[in-house]
Structure 1
């Protein structure tokens, strides 16, 4: 509202400038003619001189307006043209910016920022579709290939069992991927935490660890727990996805006979959850993209995941108005730290 008033004042000043300028120039012209004792129609002067002055002033004012407004409105014309290009789906267009704090300068900067954001969203959408198609196609091709192998009557019982297990594993992978996509779609369209209730968070985390016991026992991992008795007021089902994905990620990227440490404690009005492993760790590039959809740091292990788990984690933390940080170095393991308020009221917290 303040900027609108400021723009109105600018327009008033612009019009006032044109009026004063045209009046002054008209007066100067008449004074010049009278000083030279020259006037084109002296017999009309007593009666029509005000109208002649008005006509001359109008001509001068119109000419000045045309010249000044051309420069003043040029950025707006560029903005209109750029908007038409945006409407056709081309988000690469940018308008020249003005180095000032005026309303038009702010408008141009905001337009360029909007175009950049739209371009990023479009690129992300295309990447998502391509990655989604690839991740779904891979297990389907695998299932089809091994199913054809099972039709071979000369196939040994050992091979038949091996191929059947692969088909089951790929089918489970598809099921998990579908569930994760549906969950991510749901929480991305969600703005508030619902179904909130108070419950014991430490007990929930223990249950999540038990649910994943098969995975970490198979790798003979040492689980070190330091869980304080903590109560939280939140959506229990939603947070269970958060803990399961973080624990599953740590198990997945920790080598056999490795170690995972999980800590939970309170600090003021917040709750701190920290999970560390002594796995291979990540480089700076991986840390930067770890929460991107379908991003997988270890391509050689792509069959073990679908790159959606940490995207779900990030979104849930945002919904809970919390924070999540990653500390990792190659060869030194990884630590995820989640800070959540004890009571998640309101919408998404923007860091």
Structure 2
């Protein structure tokens, strides 16, 4: 039951309750109707039998009978007997009914005849010649019950249709009632998919709990959107403010290192500062780029690029850096692969992925780089046999400033993979990572081919 949607549960509940109510009502109705039918049959018998006295006269020394006694009104058979001789004087009786049934004045009796049951009522009348006649009324209970059973069969036939209509009405009512909830869910899912906090539910005016919930969501989204915009603006402002002083410090370090007035210890100190400031400058540069991307101000300069050549250039550039850590770089690049991309961003993508592989590689290890075309897709991959990433950390590596183990590498800013993910998605591509601790990591980027 818990696996069913709320709409399905409401429909089942509504249908079940309605079926129960209809069953109880029909049971009571048929029970009362059965009693009422028999009561009406008995009343019709008494009334018709009593009215028969008006159709019997005594004239010219003999009994005369009106032909109305032969009419079958309300299913009542009328017959007239001489009480003393029990002779049938006039009228009609049902086929198969006994003629010699003893008289019983004023009581309605139930008599079985063949496969049917009848109500029988006898009423006596004293004529002018002192002759006592008995008017007997007979009505079939079985025929009345047969009509009732026919009605019951019709009701049972219509019952599934009633259940179906009840389920349909329940579905429509549930759908209408849960429409605001569905709209809230779709809006939140769209926000998650598109990363667009400017969207709102906007159910309109209403005073019930769901409309209140939707308005609360809208207020919350407004607050979150405002906070995110302030954070992005703050990040952009801070990065801009830090860019100038870091550039000045970096230039001063470079000038000091180019001169000859530093002793060996001083040169080492300045080199440490230069290395740290270079790392900070790179981080600020990436932070500015991401900030502009968040604000929609970073435009891509798309052009037709040779992905194969970009891959070869990246391998050539970083082979020397990897060699300093005794890491071998091997390339498997298919020639002549073209696609539309921003060259500056693609170079940065290669740089971030290869720096990451070198940073977390092992001395004596390997890095495998490949670029190949599969149908209408370009597949780029960087694989290493380094320390790998734990399964619990793998989903978070794309988060900004996230570091699996900051103590192992203080030079990492935690922005490289975030930048790589944005670059790939900005080119309508996909990036993924698979890793096993102690065995290495593979990053794969897929782009649409030219």
**TM-score, length-scaled by structure 2:** 0.44
Establish whether residue 284 from structure 1 lines up as the match of residue 404 from structure 2: no
> 1:247 Cα deviation (Å)?
1.1
- Cα distance in 2 between the residues matched to 1:190 and 1:265: 31
In the superposition, relative to structure 1, how do residues 340 and 111 fare at CA in structure 2: closer, same or farther (>3 Å)?
farther
- Cα distance in 2 between the residues matched to 1:284 and 1:117: 35
> 1:108 Cα deviation (Å)?
3.5
- Cα distance in 2 between the residues matched to 1:117 and 1:279: 44
Establish whether residue 200 from structure 1 lines up as the match of residue 323 from structure 2: no
Q: Which one of the candidate residues 214, 217, 222 is aligned to 1:112?
A: 217
- Cα distance in 2 between the residues matched to 1:179 and 1:211: 20
Q: Which one of the candidate residues 347, 357, 362 is aligned to 1:255?
A: 362
> 1:193 Cα deviation (Å)?
6.0
**Is the 1:187–1:316 Cα contact (8 Å) retained in structure 2?**
no
**Is the 2:338–2:449 Cα contact (8 Å) retained in structure 1?**
yes
Q: Which one of the candidate residues 168, 191, 215 is aligned to 2:321?
A: 215
Q: Which one of the candidate residues 296, 301, 313 is aligned to 2:420?
A: 313
Establish whether residue 328 from structure 1 lines up as the match of residue 435 from structure 2: yes
SS in 2 for 1:304: coil
> 1:227 Cα deviation (Å)?
0.8
- Cα distance in 2 between the residues matched to 1:187 and 1:127: 10
* 1:127-172 CA distance string (max 9 Å, x none): 9979x98xx8xx99xx9xxx9xx9xxxxx94432321211111121
> 1:244 Cα deviation (Å)?
1.2
**Is the 2:388–2:441 Cα contact (8 Å) retained in structure 1?**
yes
SS in 1 for 2:378: strand
In the superposition, relative to structure 1, how do residues 299 and 277 fare at CA in structure 2: closer, same or farther (>3 Å)?
same
5 Å-filtered alignment, 1:120-131, equals 122=227
- Cα distance in 2 between the residues matched to 1:216 and 1:290: 22
In the superposition, relative to structure 1, how do residues 166 and 116 fare at CA in structure 2: closer, same or farther (>3 Å)?
same
Larger radius of gyration: 2
Higher helix share: 1
* Structure 2 alignment gaps of length 5 or more: 1-176, 181-207, 257-261
**Is the 1:226–1:263 Cα contact (8 Å) retained in structure 2?**
yes
**Is the 1:193–1:234 Cα contact (8 Å) retained in structure 2?**
no
SS in 2 for 1:284: coil
- Cα distance in 1 between the residues matched to 2:374 and 2:343: 20
